[in-house]
Structure 1
Amino acid sequence: MTHASHRTTTPGTGPSASAAAPALPLKAGSWAFDPLHSAVGFTIRHLGISKVRGRFNDLQAELVVGDTLETSSITATIGLASIDTGNADRDAHVRAADLLDVEKRPTMTFRSTRITGAGEDWTMDGDLTIGDVTRPVAFAVEFGGVVDVPVDGSRHAGFEATGEFRRSAFGLDFAPGLLGDVIKVSLEVQFVEPR
């Protein structure tokens, strides 16, 4: 997710051109999120000399595939209290009111506004909301493909989305100098094709 100050529209992707817009290489419909094969991780600089890595264990997502990219969308919501950096004391401190304040900011939600690309490489622009602050961001998305699962015959699609944003843009400006401003995010998600 790179922080963006503006959005651009490429020719052929505006509302009036939706009939000519390309389609995602997926069956149209609402794809079910597969939480057992999905994860979201992050990294942030500590003291400017190393990185702290962690994950959020509460992730929900929805993928709606339309007839074109213009009518396709994805929404992902992360429960911020589910932060897990491998250290329970540190996680409790980060959740507290003087840092992340999960009582005030229980979730982080991304809603796509535009999807572009082809083949394996896609870009997903959208709005990221943390607490009461919303900013435009973008993800680079790698499409892993679609496969049949032999156990139950279901078809799964896999994606990896990566990007970054500045926490200060969302009012998360605690511990300057101790923690870096840029948070890098990586999501591995699977969805199940509608029957």
Structure 2
Amino acid sequence: MTQDNSPNTTAAASVTTLPLSPGDWGFDPLHSAVNFTIRHLGIAKVRGRFRELTATLYVGEAADDVRVSAEIALASIDTGNPDRDAHTRSADLLDVEKRPMMTFRSTRVSGAGDDWSMAGELTIGDVTRPVTLAVEFGGVGDSPVDGRKHAGFEATGEIRRSDFGLDFGGGMLGDVVKIQLDMEFLEPDAG
């Protein structure tokens, strides 16, 4: 993990400025989603999501102690069109037989207030590339259903398919894939 010591950096900002208890926050898959957008023929957007994901959030005493990781099953892609999804899973594009999972591991979290940045490593198959996501802290709320505190986050960013060797469909499909993650986590148990 690299440290940026420039005067405008808030990398060492205390996470305690957020109302997040230290510890391992539980993932809430019912209120979380991984969505994406990609251009088709350069004139329209195709939107989709991945239905199967898991994530972990560890909150420490400072931003440098925050760790996030996620695993996404690539075969769970859903663009609303079964034929397109089947083709996307094939060896032409994602090749889910060889690349079943996409994983993310944070390397650095920085920011303040509601706006944060998370740098990390995204792995698709055997290719790992650095990715930085803009993170918006949505806040913390008490759930009347389970009586626990829930924390919400939205993360956005983009990747290039070609960086991961997924360059089928040049001219038909855009290289840039825009990502939007909506994640909800549950406060660690007190006991």
TM-score (normalizing by structure 2):
0.92
SS in 1 for 2:75: helix
Separation in 2, partners of 1:148, 1:98? 45
Distance in 1, Cα, partners of 2:51 & 2:154: 17
What amino acid does structure 1 have at the position aligned with 2:65? T
Match of 1:94, SS? helix
| Residue correspondence of structure 1 range 80-99 to structure 2 within 5 A | 80-99=74-93
Give the corresponding residue for 2:32.
38
* 8 Å contact kept, 2:40–2:172: yes
Note if contact 2:13-2:110 (Cα within 8 Å) is conserved in structure 1: no
AA aligned to 1:125 is: A
Contact 2:13 2:111 in 1 (8 A): no
Q: CA deviation at 1:28?
A: 0.3
Q: Which of the residues 1, 5, 11 maps onto 2:5?
A: 11
What is the letter of the counterpart of residue 164 of structure 1?
A: E
Aligned counterparts, 1:60-75, within 5 A = 60-75=54-69
How far did 1:8 drift? Answer: 6.2
Q: Secondary structure at the match of 2:84?
A: helix
Q: What is the CA distance between 1:92 and its match in structure 2?
A: 0.5
For the Cα contact (< 8 Å) 2:159–2:178, is it kept in 1? Answer: yes
Deviations along 1:46-80, whole A, 9 cap, x unmatched? 00001100000011100000111111100011100
CA distance in 1 between partners of 2:47 and 2:75 (Å): 16
Cα distance in 2 for residues equivalent to 1:152 and 1:184? 33
Report what 2:14 is aligned to: 22
Match of 2:114 in 1: 120
Q: Which amino acid aligns with 1:78?
A: I
Matched, 1:143 2:137: yes
CA apart distance, 1:102? 0.4
Which runs of 5 or more structure 1 residues have no equivalent in the other structure?
Answer: 1-6, 13-17
**Over residues 140-175 of structure 1, what are the superposed CA-to-partner deviations in whole Å (9 max), with x where a residue is unaligned?**
000000111122210000000000010100000101
Aligned length: 183
1:120-148 Cα shifts (integer Å, max 9, x gaps): 00000000000000000100000000111
Partner residue in 2 for 1:131: 125
Instruction: Provide the alpha-carbon RMSD of the alignment.
Output: 1.6
Within a 5 Å distance, the mapping from 1:175-194 to structure 2 comes to 175-194=169-188
CA contact (8 A) 2:13 2:112 kept: no
The aligned residue for residue 163 of structure 1 is 157
- Greater Cα offset, 50-59 or 22-31: 22-31
Letter of the aligned partner of 2:170 in structure 1?
P
- Percent of matched pairs sharing the same residue: 67
Offset of residue 9 of structure 1: 3.2
1:11, distance to aligned residue in structure 2 (A): 1.5
- SS of structure 2 residue aligned to 1:27: coil
1:97 is displaced (CA, Å) by 1.2
Counterpart Cα distance in 1 of 2:94 and 2:33: 20
Query: Quick one: which amino acid aligns to residue 35 of structure 2?
Result: G
